[in-house]
């Protein structure tokens, strides 16, 4: 069905006079269940097929999307998209991939992106959410559970282009999460646990997720503001990927082309300590971001973004690569209604030799950050400031929970002063261990 829709879109675009065209069709079903207080709080089910058409005429492009795929609508979409493209400004970097560069491997079955087991029914999802809620409530110190939820999604996509490319992916996703609350009145604290997997057999149990959410919330009871000053900060594993995410955003081709990156002059320079590598591998099985080809039909491949601390290259789609006079890294991603843009798949960071507890002992006095909120980050200079909560460390041991503080520094300096632990978890699209960063500013009491 999806391939037929994209073929019809391409034919209509050519009939209207498009030089090049690219069509995408997506079919998705999703079910979500949320419980609270031992009862069903919210249930939803969504199903649909959406289509999108991108046309290029003489360096101009336009994109239209919709949910109606009748013959009349497809003809109207093609006519309007071509008319819009003819009125758009010229961009010489626009264009489809050369046909001899297209991916040959298009069967993604080896990546195991779809769980063929029966879709869980709403009653099963509700039971899982209730189990997670009960496990959280059983933890001493938990006052209530804000919500527990379970979900399932099935998504199939197909892309076709006038350069001859045809390919798609079928994916599934199981999800389970729980948010627990401890304390009373103005002293209430919340924390969360959640997991998602392609295969249900890879999911942790609902009891594990609920218990972890409860333990995290109970540990936050009695939080207060920390001291103000310059201290070492340990980014807990569950939020450390966000710090590396700022690096990945700064080497994204879109930011480089715009000159709005604090790493715009860092190609071939050291941006992480010696011995640390950031590797992207789009071919990991059972990972939700894995793919054999990108959104422009180019074959994906593993690559080092940073090797032994040295920046190796930008993350590029065809458009950004052409603007910079480089080759695409086969990193294009896109949705139904937008053009291709650079994105990442599965990134893993070199782990250290020390455990998280050992790094805490070495800190002496400082802050372990377990959650972040808000952000003030200058994309050009890398100046960094974020609200934070976590635990205060005194004498190399966790002393008490803290909240309502701000941590600040400069990303380029912070990344050169980090020490990774050895606690990175699997099943993360950005797999990063806890990170100790020296000499940051903490604004608290």
Those residues whose C-beta lies under 8 Å from the C-beta of residue 263, and which sit 6 or more positions away, are: 247, 250, 251, 271, 311, 382, 412
- Tell me the mean pLDDT in the region 158-179: 97
Could you read off the pLDDT of 290-320 as tens digits, one per residue? 999 999 999 999 999 999 999 999 999 999 9
- Burial track 140-167 (b if 16+ CB lie within 10 A, e otherwise): ebbbbbebbbbbbbbbbbbbbbbbebeb
The answer to whether the CB of 368 falls within 8 A of the CB of 236 is yes
> What does the mean pLDDT of the chain come to?
95
pLDDT digits (tens, 9 = 90+) for 219-264: 999 999 998 999 999 999 999 999 999 999 999 999 999 999 999 9
What is the reported pLDDT for 87?
Answer: 94
The pLDDT assigned to 197 comes to 97
179 alpha carbon, distance to own chain's centre: 20
- The CA distance from 175 to 32, in Å, is 9
Block residue for tokens 């635990």: 391
Q: Residue 445's pLDDT band (boundaries 50, 70, 90)?
A: low
Answer yes or no: is pLDDT of 187 > 90: no
- 408 contacts: CB under 8 Å, gap ≥ 6: 383, 384, 385, 386, 440, 441, 443
Q: Which two tokens stand for residue 98?
A: 């050369």
Assign residue 263 a region: left if phi > 0, alpha if psi is -120 to 50, beta otherwise?
alpha
pLDDT at 147: 95
pLDDT given at position 183: 87
Residue 328 per-residue DSSP state: -
* Rg (alpha carbons) of the chain, rounded to whole number: 24
Nearest alpha-carbon partner for 422 in 204, 276, 306: 276
Q: What is the pTM of this model?
A: 0.94
């Amino acid at each position: 069905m999806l391939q037929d829709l994209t073929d019809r879109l391409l034919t209509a675009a050519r009939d209207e006079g498009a030089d090049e065209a690219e069509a995408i069709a997506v079919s998705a079903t999703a079910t979500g269940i949320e419980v609270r207080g031992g009862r069903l709080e919210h249930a939803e089910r969504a199903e649909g097929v959406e289509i999108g058409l991108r046309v290029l005429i003489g360096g101009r492009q336009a994109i239209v999307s919709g949910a109606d795929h009748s013959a009349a609508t497809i003809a109207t979409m093609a006519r309007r998209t071509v008319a819009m493209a003819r009125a758009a400004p010229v961009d010489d970097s626009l264009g489809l991939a050369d046909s001899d560069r297209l991916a040959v491997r298009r069967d993604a079955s080896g990546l195991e992106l779809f769980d063929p087991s029966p879709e869980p029914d709403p009653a099963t999802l509700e039971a899982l959410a209730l189990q997670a809620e009960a496990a959280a409530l059983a933890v001493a110190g938990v006052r209530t559970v804000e919500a527990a939820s379970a979900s399932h999604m099935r998504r199939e996509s197909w892309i076709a282009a006038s350069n001859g490319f045809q390919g798609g992916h079928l994916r599934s996703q199981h999800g389970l999460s729980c948010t627990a609350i401890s304390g009373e009145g103005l002293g209430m604290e919340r924390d969360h646990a959640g997991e998602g997997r392609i295969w249900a057999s890879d999911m942790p149990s609902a009891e594990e997720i609920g218990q972890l959410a409860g333990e995290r919330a109970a540990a936050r009871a009695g939080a207060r503001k920390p001291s103000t000053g310059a201290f070492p900060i340990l980014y807990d594993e569950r939020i450390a990927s966000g710090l590396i995410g700022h690096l990945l955003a700064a080497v994204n081709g879109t930011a480089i082309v715009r000159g709005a990156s604090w790493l715009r002059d860092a190609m071939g320079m050291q941006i992480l300590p010696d011995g640390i590598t950031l590797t992207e591998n789009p071919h990991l099985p059972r990972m939700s971001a894995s793919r054999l080809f990108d959104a422009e039909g180019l074959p994906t491949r593993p690559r080092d973004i940073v090797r032994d601390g040295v920046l190796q290259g930008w993350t590029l789609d065809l458009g950004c690569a052409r603007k910079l006079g480089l080759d695409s890294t086969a990193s294009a991603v896109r949705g139904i209604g937008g053009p291709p843009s650079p994105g990442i798949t599965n990134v893993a960071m070199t782990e250290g030799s020390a455990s998280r507890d050992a790094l805490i002992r070495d800190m002496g006095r400082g802050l372990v950050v377990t959650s972040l909120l808000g952000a003030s980050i200058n994309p050009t200079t890398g100046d960094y400031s974020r609200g934070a909560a976590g635990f205060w460390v005194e004498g190399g041991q966790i002393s008490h929970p803290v909240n309502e503080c701000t941590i600040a520094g400069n990303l380029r300096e912070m990344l050169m002063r980090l020490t990774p632990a050895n606690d990175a978890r699997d099943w993360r699209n950005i797999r990063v261990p806890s990170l100790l960063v020296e000499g940051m500013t903490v604004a608290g009491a």
